[in-house]
A and B are shown apart, each in its own frame.
Chain A
Amino acid sequence: MALQINSYDRDRHTEGLVDLFNQQTADEPYIVPLSAERFAQWVAGKTYFDAAGLLVAEQGGQVGGWVHGCVVPYTEGAVLSGPAYPRIEMLLFREDLPAVGKQLVAESTKWLAARSTETITAIHPHKGYPFYRAFWLGGEPQCPLTLTHVQMALASSGYEQTHQDVMMVCEMTEQPTVCRADVDAEFCRGPSTLKHEVASESWAGFAPQTITAMIDETWVGHIGYVVVPQAAERLGAAQVNIYTLGVAEMYRRRGLASALVSRVQAAGYEQGAKFSSVCTELWNVAGQVTYAKFGYRPYCIVNGRTLRESAQESK
């Protein structure tokens, strides 16, 4: 059966694309299932969504895979800066069709290389998270190593692993206890300040929150989190994901990080979350030990890949 790869057409492809997403992620409770409406709101509705970069592979009228390439600026940070970066933000295909995965990556890489000379990344945290944020393993979506065939397609196409995090998760069976810090800090909770349009749009459909720790009206730390009520469809209850945590250097080792994590757990629980997750670097001892203390356990490794320079040149 001949394989056809075409750019996304809403009327023709949405149903098959969403079905494949749901089938491929069925065993992954920290990924929220998609519907056509959710896809429109969370993905295709963004101003920087370019349908030409979403390539759909069809075989015998069935969607066998799809890849989402895009050229989008850095989503994090205080100001919109730097160029738009070429990246593959999603790749899904049936595991019995490895050739489809390879071909999708090749086509997407070609499409991206024609639009930017910057290094191409794949599901990498380095330049932020323009798509799939919150509903794909939390606020910092990367590629889980459990999607083995997706990793194979990227690796065998010249995308080298250049980043590894560990996703840690915790089940909150009872109201979490709020920890006091060793210093007298004031904690303020509110919607996260999203300082530019790309940052705001990256969260489309979700409401990220921040708890800030202040001493004498000066910032000494903060934690960013998002409650994902839709996670209940697979987990049985909402989840709260921590997507950033920072404490001023001079205030470290005074229990502020623990105070912030415990406040997120308590806030999430109040909003119906019975599960919590966070990604931290694989080498980050302090992060891993802190989260372990609060009941988080290593759940899976997620990674980001970068197209090898020689592979990029050959495109």
Chain B
Amino acid sequence: MGLSIQGYEQSDVEPMLDLFNQQTAHVRHVARLTSRMFAELVEAKSYFDPAGVLVARSGGDVVGWIHACVAPGSESWQDPKQSVARIRMLVYRPEDPRVGYALVERATAWLEAGGAKTMLAWHAQSGYPFYRGLWFGGESMCPATMPHLHMAFEVGGYKVTQQSVFFTANMADEPAVIEPEIAVEFNEHPAEMAHEPMRQSWVGFEPRVTGAHVDGQYVGGISWVIQTHLAEKLGAPCMNIWGLGVSEKYQRNRIASALISRAMASSYKMGARSASVGTQIWNTAAHMTYTRMGYRPLCIMMGRQRKVESQESGS
């Protein structure tokens, strides 16, 4: 049966999401998507470009799709005016690797046609404009547990340049709050959105921050969010930590543990019964901290990058 790849049309949404839900049915930290969610959480973003969503069909059926975009950084420290070419979603059946190769090739060609020299695939480097909170927490990357996706990216010239570990913890019982070794005041509030692309990246969610202060001075904070959409798969919402930092001077005072425990306790009161966090694979200090608090490594997440070779180096 011949394979064709065409631009996305509204009528494709249902079969696209059927495939998404079928392919991620066993993946507990990916939310089941409905067409309403897709409209509100994906399409409604001002930087959504339907031309970057490409759909593979065979024998009239949707057999895969890919979402490429040129979108600004979503994090507070990133320049909202600087757009980055990236692929943020790829869905196809593992039975036919040619569908994955073809989708990545076409999406790459689309990004290159827009002038991109460097392209990211599910990378953390420039933030998370799409699928945040829906796909492995607030820092969506490509899980090693879906090898067919990595096959398609590797064949398409996207090399692994980042590896993180996705940890999860069970919160069947109310988490105990840990106290730091020095006097610290904590406060909790909605996360401040530093710029419009950051706000849009979180559309549909209510990210929060728990801050730590010593003598009125900010010394650290934890950013977290309740993922209500995961309740369908996990039985209850899941809390995800998407940022954690303590000023160097105040490290080793158990402030990080105090912040994590407060975010967990607070989210428990809001209905969450599990927690997750992504951390760099080399970050031993973070591994130790999260392990002590009951988190266990669930899977490795990878970010990939493709660079167009210059004529000089390619000759």
Contact = CB atoms under 8 A, between A and B. Distances in A.
Nearest to B300: A145
Contacts of A282: 150-151, 154-155
A146 B144 contact: yes
B280 to A, nearest CB: 9
A229 interface: no
Contacts of A149: 297
Contacts of A99: 288
Interface in A145-165: 145-146, 148-149, 151-152, 155-156, 161, 164
Given A95-B296, A148-B300, A283-B154, A300 B291 contact: no
Contacts of B97: 285, 288-289, 292, 298
A285 B155 contact: yes
Nearest to A144: B144
A41 to B, nearest CB: 32
B85 to A, nearest CB: 22
B165 A148 contact: yes
A102 B147 contact: no
Given A99-B288, A282-B151, A292-B97, A148 B163 contact: no
Given A148-B298, A285-B101, A288-B97, A166 B147 contact: yes
A98 interface: yes
A298 B94 contact: yes
Interface string A254-297: 00000000000000000000000000001101001100100001
Interface in B264-288: 281-284, 287-288
A18 interface: no
Contacts of B254: none
| Interface of A (DSSP majority class) | mixed
A313 interface: no
A293 B287 CA distance: 41
Interface residues of A, number: 28
A96 interface: yes
Interface residues of B, number: 29
Interface string B281-315: 11110011001000011111000000000000000
Interface string B151-172: 1001100001001010000000
A152 B296 contact: no
Contact of A146 (B145, B148, B281, B283): B145
B155 A300 contact: no
A230 B144 CA distance: 27
B28 interface: no
Given A148-B165, A152-B287, A282-B150, A96 B296 contact: yes
A299 B297 contact: no
Given A156-B284, A282-B155, 15 more contacts: A96-B291, A98-B291, A145-B300, A148-B298, A152-B297, A156-B283, A156-B287, A167-B147, A285-B97, A285-B155, A288-B151, A289-B98, A297-B94, A300-B144, A300-B147
Interface of B: 94-98, 101, 144-145, 147-148, 150-151, 154-155, 160, 163, 165, 281-284, 287-288, 291, 296-300
Interface of A: 95-96, 98-99, 102, 145-146, 148-149, 151-152, 155-156, 161, 164, 166-167, 282-283, 285, 288-289, 292, 297-301
Which 5 A-B residue pairings sit nearest by Cβ, starting from the closest?
Answer: A145-B144, A148-B297, A298-B147, A282-B154, A155-B281
